[in-house]
Structure 1
């Protein structure tokens, strides 16, 4: 890989790397905007608006009906869309009481577990130890180090479990339907989450003050980054894609600091750094490239 990062290969990779960084910044900016919507529509309402409007945008842009899933492809697609919807809803639930950077770091344990699952090499135990150290610093386990809300932390970890499912089922669905799986998965996720948001927020979802923010979240957190990341993935090795995605918790922390004023304590920054280091290390030392970390938040 080192050779591909120099000379003509390096110039060729600069563009997709830029796309990926923009996509990650877009996702976390969208999460910051969504958090401003919580007082008006709640976390379930914000998630419903994001996925509902995001599905509409992707339907118009991708016209998924041109590649209708066959019967044998529908199970993986249904599981993929369900994981996507639950992941987004639970992540937004965590953001009610947990800073964005901390929530993303806790959630990232899911894809990290996928990357390390089944590995028995000694170096991989280092990444497990680093991730465990980060979790010990973040989780409220009576040490007095962290002041992270336990309920919010539980939501973030549950979102991470669904992120792991999203990766595994998304690999199968994407292999069957290609880019169209993103649109179909978002439609399924919206069908699952929108009723939850409607039940929780009701007519507040139609508040004119909310709709511009909701549209911005749908574009920044769904339509734009998913498109950019698909473009980046087709132009770079999947191992490099997964490695770069590993910095997303740090981007989330910076987004929360800049846009929401969420200041983290030193142990929380160290915890995020440990989880990022574990994710980067796991990606760099992975033998295969079958599980790149796709977009989630």
Structure 2
């Protein structure tokens, strides 16, 4: 996800110290984005190792607990001061947050990490394409659609339920983005996200208890679930806080599009989930659609 905007021809040269500082920040930002994406996918892969013992539901429950613990510390929401106008999008965000993770992890269990994350990525891609009316965006939409058709082509072994859960995760991610905008406009800082994570964790508390009673976790399974929560929730969130202050939004969005590729590689290396050339072609189409859309986006007009 490289591709910094070209400098004007007449741009003055920066002092050596300033240029070095900006270069260091840029390198740090790229390294953080790479680490965040890799951490997210490795966390999902490690979490899937606990599926045979506590299932995707148990892993998601633990992940929700870890996310809530981290976000409550970072966001410090003042829950007693929330009005109903602030509470209702927070509650919806909590439901979407839990549903998104549950559908994604169940899809990972059924169709593999690479395909599940690629299908989930259609959510933010759809939001981005729906915001504009350019011909290039229509072409990107067609390219992404071709990728999805390739991934979901009928075969004797096609798991349509797993594919459907991946698409449900995509719809939840799109809703998550829209709700986060609403929450962010009504609550300062990360208070809304923290409150939503706390509510989601409370919703999964009885689920976690039922799973623990009927499927007692082994130390290894519990460790994998906690690692998934840390690597897929805590680390990416804190990394994004650092990155978004140092990296332009288009560059951040372009790098995010690499996540399906990272997921496919991690699934292959850690889980032995190999993909054929049609699957790789489908992933490339979805990633390419997002990359083209971002790289051809018009910069905002100066006031």
- Under a length normalisation based on structure 2, what TM-score does the superposition of the two structures give? 0.86
Matched, 1:267 2:278: yes
User: 1:220/1:95 Cα in 2 relative to 1: closer, same or farther (>3 Å)?
Assistant: same
- Distance in structure 2 (CA, Å) of the matches to 1:174 and 1:220: 24
Matched, 1:14 2:27: yes
**What are the ranges of 5 or more consecutive residues in structure 1 without an aligned counterpart?**
290-297
User: Is the 8 Å Cα contact of residues 51 and 59 (structure 2) preserved in structure 1?
Assistant: yes
Structural RMSD (CA):
2.5
- Distance in structure 1 (CA, Å) of the matches to 2:216 and 2:178: 32
- Distance in structure 2 (CA, Å) of the matches to 1:226 and 1:31: 15
Deviation at 1:119, TM superposition (A): 2.5
Matched, 1:2 2:5: yes
User: Is the 8 Å Cα contact of residues 48 and 108 (structure 2) preserved in structure 1?
Assistant: yes
- Superimposed CA distance per residue, residues 104-153 of structure 1 (whole angstroms, 9 cap, x where no aligned partner): 1111111111001142211111101110111111004x3x4x95411100
Matched, 1:257 2:257: no
- Superimposed CA distance per residue, residues 171-226 of structure 1 (whole angstroms, 9 cap, x where no aligned partner): 22234232233322221222233434444553535543332222211110111111
User: 1:165/1:204 Cα in 2 relative to 1: closer, same or farther (>3 Å)?
Assistant: same
Matched, 1:283 2:294: yes
Matched, 1:98 2:108: no
- Distance in structure 2 (CA, Å) of the matches to 1:244 and 1:206: 36
User: Is the 8 Å Cα contact of residues 83 and 162 (structure 1) preserved in structure 2?
Assistant: yes
Deviation at 1:233, TM superposition (A): 1.0
User: Is the 8 Å Cα contact of residues 54 and 223 (structure 1) preserved in structure 2?
Assistant: yes
Matched, 1:166 2:176: yes
Match of 1:209 among 205, 216, 220: 220
Moved more, 69-78 or 29-38: 69-78
Q: What does residue 294 of structure 1 align with? A: none
Matched, 1:237 2:258: no
- Superimposed CA distance per residue, residues 12-34 of structure 1 (whole angstroms, 9 cap, x where no aligned partner): 32211211111111110010011
Who wins on radius of gyration, i.e. which is larger? Answer: 2
**What are the ranges of 5 or more consecutive residues in structure 2 without an aligned counterpart?**
8-12
- Distance in structure 1 (CA, Å) of the matches to 2:81 and 2:278: 49
